[in-house]
Amino acid sequence: MSGRRSPKQEEVLRALVSEAELSEDEARLYLLVLREGSIPSSNKSEEVRRLKAGGMVILSGDGKRYIPVHPRLAVANGYRTWREKMVREVNERRMRVDRLILELIPIYEAAMEKRGGEGR
């Protein structure tokens, strides 16, 4: 996407990076696909692969082009993917915290037992 972009286009690009968590190259490519309507399926770049995996572009029925998913659905797909990742990370952290608690309880109980024996 060569040429000069308007401040509004720059704002949209920044929002795709910050809110949709796309890389700048992915955001530029998604905007290009939106503007052009499609790109050749011969484009095997990492950015295309990630946009496809994120539900932002799909392969056309004839397999010759990648076409954009409607922004409402594409950005919602990105948000859903981000949310699922966050929930998974929170759940994993909770399991690690629970394991830590189980390791700390015997230490605490031993100290309390020892302290209780000192007063006798």
Q: Hey, what domains does the chain have and what are their CATH numbers?
A: 7-118 (1.10.10.10)
Question: What's the pLDDT band for 1 if we cut at 50, 70, 90?
Answer: very low
The interaxial angle of helices 24-36 and 46-53, nearest 10 deg, is: 80
pLDDT at position 3, please? 55
Q: Which residues pair with 58 in a beta bridge?
A: 67
5 versus 62: the higher-pLDDT residue is 62
pLDDT at position 13, please? 93
- pLDDT by residue (tens digit) across 64-84? 999 999 999 999 988 888 899
Say if residue 38's pLDDT is above 60: yes
Cβ count within 10 A of residue 21: 15
Share of the chain above pLDDT 90, in %: 71
Question: What's the pLDDT band for 9 if we cut at 50, 70, 90?
Answer: confident
The answer to whether the pTM exceeds 0.95 is no
